């Protein structure tokens, strides 16, 4: 989307940042040790007036369109800002300015797609209690890939994982209920990604691309075991009430849920606020870092 960010920066009168901004949001470094992990201090800065609130909403709406279409690295930051816009403060405005400086530093994002067998695959993840007010974030990396060598098995050493491709959809949202454990948050992620993919599967089928069971990767063994009936649940009836839909669909053969370690899960990036160094390291994984004009010769 050439010039989209440049026009947005002109519209909101954002000056050129004096220093490059490689993180779309602030980062609270973890403190390791035996002491308790404390929550962020309560934001007691001055509330925004009506004009400031309107500007914040305009920025979120404008950048969200671009982020969903091209630059998915901004989605977590935008989700957090959107959750605060009804009671925005000067601190929220400062966070918005950091996002705009990130846009100015990286104004022309490009997604690179590779030809594939048009089989839907999903990496599912969740971050437990990573948002304010004891909320969690569920995420999914939806991409198209080739059919597996053995359609009835999850990826194993003799059944290689699907080739990586650019995402055509990123699910990154704050879960509505307060989740009681990391396993429940991960299971909620499987549920939301499964529901989100039903329309995508139908669309692909109607376009002439028959779908094998969609493979959903999770890095939580308890969530995978619950979905596959390989572990017995001993707690949290909330999981029964809300999320067993995904287990029913696994039984019906619509999905294959399988476990892989977190380092192999491409949805992890969209689940939480990372350090600036991590953003710089991972940006080239999700976006094409060459010049857009070079794509013609690829």
CA distance 122 to 85: 30
Domain 119-270 sits in CATH 3.30.420.10:
yes
Report whether 188 contacts 173 (CB < 8 A). no
- pLDDT at position 179, please? 84
User: DSSP secondary-structure letter at 270?
Assistant: G
**Closest listed residue to residue 141, CA positions, set 271, 1, 272:** 271
Predicted pLDDT of residue 298: 36
Length of the chain as a residue count: 298
The C-alpha angle with vertex 190 and arms to 116 and 25, in degrees rounded to 5, equals: 85
pLDDT for 294: 46
Could you report the per-residue pLDDT of 10-54, keeping only the tens digit for each? 999 999 888 999 999 988 777 777 667 667 777 788 999 999 999
* CA 171 to chain centroid: 5
| Cα separations in angstroms, 253 against 153, 197, 211, 250 | 11, 14, 11, 5
Q: What's residue 93's pLDDT?
A: 94
In the chain, % of residues over pLDDT 70: 89
Q: Are 194 and 249 in contact (CB under 8 A)?
A: yes
| pLDDT for the residue 86 | 84
Segments making up each domain of the chain, as ranges: 4-109, 119-270
71 contacts: CB under 8 Å, gap ≥ 6 = 106, 109, 287
220 CB-contact burial (10 Å; exposed 0-12 / middle 13-18 / buried 19+): buried
pLDDT value, residue 293: 47
pLDDT along the chain (298 residues), means of 10: 93 91 86 70 86 94 94 94 90 94 93 94 92 89 88 61 88 87 90 94 96 93 87 62 81 90 89 90 88 45
């Amino acid at each position: 989307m050439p010039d989209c960010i440049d026009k947005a920066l002109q519209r909101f009168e954002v000056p050129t940042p004096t220093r490059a901004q490689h993180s779309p949001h602030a980062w609270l470094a973890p403190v390791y040790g035996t002491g308790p992990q404390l929550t962020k201090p309560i934001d007691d800065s001055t509330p925004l007036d009506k004009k400031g609130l309107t500007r914040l909403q305009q920025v979120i709406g404008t950048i969200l369109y671009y982020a969903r279409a091209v630059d998915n690295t901004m989605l977590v930051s935008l989700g957090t800002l959107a959750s605060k816009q009804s009671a925005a403060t000067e601190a929220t405005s400062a966070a918005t300015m950091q996002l705009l400086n990130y846009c100015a530093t990286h104004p022309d994002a490009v997604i690179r797609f590779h030809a594939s067998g048009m089989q839907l695959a999903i990496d599912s993840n969740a971050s437990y209690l990573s948002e304010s007010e004891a909320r969690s974030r569920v995420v999914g990396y939806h991409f198209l890939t080739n059919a597996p060598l053995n359609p009835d098995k999850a990826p194993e050493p003799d059944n290689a994982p699907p080739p990586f491709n650019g995402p055509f959809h990123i699910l990154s949202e704050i879960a509505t209920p307060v989740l009681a454990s990391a396993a429940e948050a991960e299971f909620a992620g499987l549920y939301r990604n499964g529901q989100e993919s039903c329309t995508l599967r139908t669309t692909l089928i109607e376009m002439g691309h028959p779908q094998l069971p969609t493979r959903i990767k999770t890095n939580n063994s308890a969530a995978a075991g619950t979905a596959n009936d390989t572990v017995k649940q001993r707690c949290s009836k909330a999981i029964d009430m809300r999320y067993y839909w995904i287990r029913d669909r696994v039984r019906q053969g619509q999905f294959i849920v399988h476990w892989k370690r977190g380092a192999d899960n491409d949805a992890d990036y969209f689940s939480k606020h990372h350090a600036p160094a991590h953003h710089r390291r991972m940006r080239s994984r999700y976006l094409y870092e060459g010049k857009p004009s070079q794509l013609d010769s690829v």
